Structures are given as C-alpha cells and as structure tokens.
Amino acid sequence: MKYMAPATLKEAEKLKDSLKKSRYLAGGTTLNWRSAPEGSPVIDLKNLPIHGIKKKGSAIEIGALTVLSDLKSSPLIPAGLKEAVGMFDALNIRNMATVGGASAGAFFISNILPVLIAYKASAAYYFNSRKNTMLLENWLKEKKGILCSILITHPKRRVYAAQDKVAAIDFPSVVTAAGFNLTSGRIKDAVLAVSGLSGKLQVLTDAAAYLNSVSAEELDFSRLNSIVQESISPSGNVKVSARVKRRFIEKQIREILDHIGRDSS
C-alpha cells in the first residue's frame, strides 16, 4: 500500500489529483473498518494545519482533524453538539474518528451530522488551490476538496437530538436533530435533519417550514408528525424495517417537541 503524509493543503490536493483511486485518511475508522485500508494510495491528512478548536469572533471553528472526544472536553463546544458526541457509544471510535471524517465520509448513520446541520454549521474547504466557505448542508452535496474546518457560526441556537437503536450496543438506527431560535415564544429559523432513513442525511424542509409558522404554544405534534411522515421514504434492512424507522422518528419528534415546550415555558 502506498502511503503519503503531505505537509500542505496544496501538496495534498496535488497528490489526490495525480494518484488514481487515492483516498484521504483522517482517523481511519471508516477507511479501515472490517478490512485493510480501503483505497490506495492513502494520503494521510495528519500533518495539515487543520487541527484544533478555536473561537473566531462569535463563531467556533473546529479543525477537521479534531477527534470527537475532544469536542466533549472543550469548553467552547455548545451543549447540543456535546450531547451528540455523548450518544456515540464506542469510546475507541470516539477517540479516533474526526469531525472531518464524520462529515466528509459516507458512514450509513451519524450522530454528529444532523446536529451540525441543525446548528446551520458552515464548511471551510480547500479546492482548486483555494480556501472557501459554504453552508455544510450545501458542501455535503458534492464534498469538493479537503474539508478544513467546521464553523459553528450560531453556537447559541437551541439544538436537540434524539436517537433510537435496536440493541443497546448497536449503532443507532435513526438520529433526528432540530435546531431553532426562540424569540418571545416563536420558533424561528428551524432546521430538522435526520440520519439513518436511507443512505443520505435528509433535511426536512416542509417540517421546518411548519415549525417556523407557529408559536411554541400552537405546536401540534400530530400535524408535525404527518408532515414528517409524508416527507420521508425510509428503507429497511435486516435489523430494522422501514415501518419501525417511521415509529422511531415519530418518537424522536415527540422528544424534540418536549424540549421546545420546556424551553418556551
């Protein structure tokens, strides 16, 4: 297996462009899962200046190579994201998996991604010899270049997540996160994102529009649930059927509405 560890973003991109079938390596938990590293040559990102958690004005910048357990211990990380890391059972994975790998990778379930989307986080990335920033939700559509950092530009948003598993030591089956601002009992700027329904993370725009159209007091669980159920087409697998996933998300929405109710009272 060919292995390289470039020292600059420019060099890393050049290698990636010139070496067929090469893959970037971060924590390696997905790339090394169940077999020898998937992809060769491997371009290790470890020497790139994309480590650490910093405050940048009112935003929090999380370097792509930050491991998930460091999110839990940093005083800069907002509560909703810390809780999402806490839902992640496998301690050894938490100590190796990076924020960049959790975002850029294509693992079939994520505790972290729906929460970052609910924060309306942005992605700083390096592509075509330039650094750019865009909403993470948009970056995920094409995943261009090297993800350098995640920017939480609205750390004060209220963000709640809920998950369900078929067994205590298993991966989560479905994870739902909601983010919003609450001003004088009105929900504003809501985002609802779900991981685990099918391959890709799903952002539920109709459900968010409903949340934005009512006050916290007027929120109607049945109405929200029926909008959500109409917007999703979960796929089942050997462990959990599509029907069970629908019941999981229904339960998770109820949990999230309980949080909104408590916040507004």
Ligand X SMILES: Cc1cc2nc3c(=O)[nH]c(=O)nc-3n(C[C@H](O)[C@H](O)[C@H](O)COP(=O)(O)OP(=O)(O)OC[C@H]3O[C@@H](n4cnc5c(N)ncnc54)[C@H](O)[C@@H]3O)c2cc1C
Asked if residue 78 lies in contact with residue 119, where contact means CB atoms within 8 angstroms, the answer is yes
Nearer to ligand X, 60 or 187 (CB): 60
Contact region with ligand X (CB under 6 A), list: 104-112, 152-160, 232-240, 248-256:
104-112
By CB under 6 A, tell whether 3 contacts ligand X.
no
Return the closest-CA partner of residue 117 out of 137, 131, 134: 137
Q: Which of 9, 12, 45, 140: binder of ligand X (CB under 6 A)?
A: 45
Residue linked to tokens 């994870």? 175
Q: Where are the alpha helices (DSSP H) in 113-240?
A: 113-118, 136-142, 205-213, 221-231
Token code pair at residue 29: 């938990």
Which residue's C-beta sits nearest to ligand X?
101
Of 158-197, which residues contact ligand X (CB under 6 A)? 171-172
Q: How far is the CB of 82 from ligand X (least distance, A)?
A: 14
Task: Please tell me the distance from the alpha carbon of residue 108 to that of residue 110, in angstroms, as a whole number.
Answer: 7
Nearer to ligand X, 86 or 182 (CB): 86
Contact region with ligand X (CB under 6 A), list: 105-113, 116-124, 222-230, 247-255:
105-113
Q: Which of 14, 16, 23, 186: binder of ligand X (CB under 6 A)?
A: 23
Return the closest-CA partner of residue 249 out of 144, 145, 176, 146: 176
By CB under 6 A, tell whether 112 contacts ligand X.
yes
Nearer to ligand X, 77 or 224 (CB): 77
Q: Give the interface size with ligand X as a residue count (CB under 6 A).
A: 33
Q: Which residues, 6+ apart, have CB-to-CB distance to 170 below 8 Å?
A: 239
Asked if residue 201 lies in contact with residue 189, where contact means CB atoms within 8 angstroms, the answer is no
DSSP state, residue 106: -
Nearer to ligand X, 167 or 183 (CB): 167
Helix then strand count (H, E) for the chain reads 10, 12
Binding track over 59-78 against ligand X, x by CB under 6 A: -----x--------------
Residues binding ligand X (CB under 6 A): 23-31, 33, 45, 64, 88-90, 93, 96-98, 100-102, 104-105, 107, 109-112, 146-147, 171-172
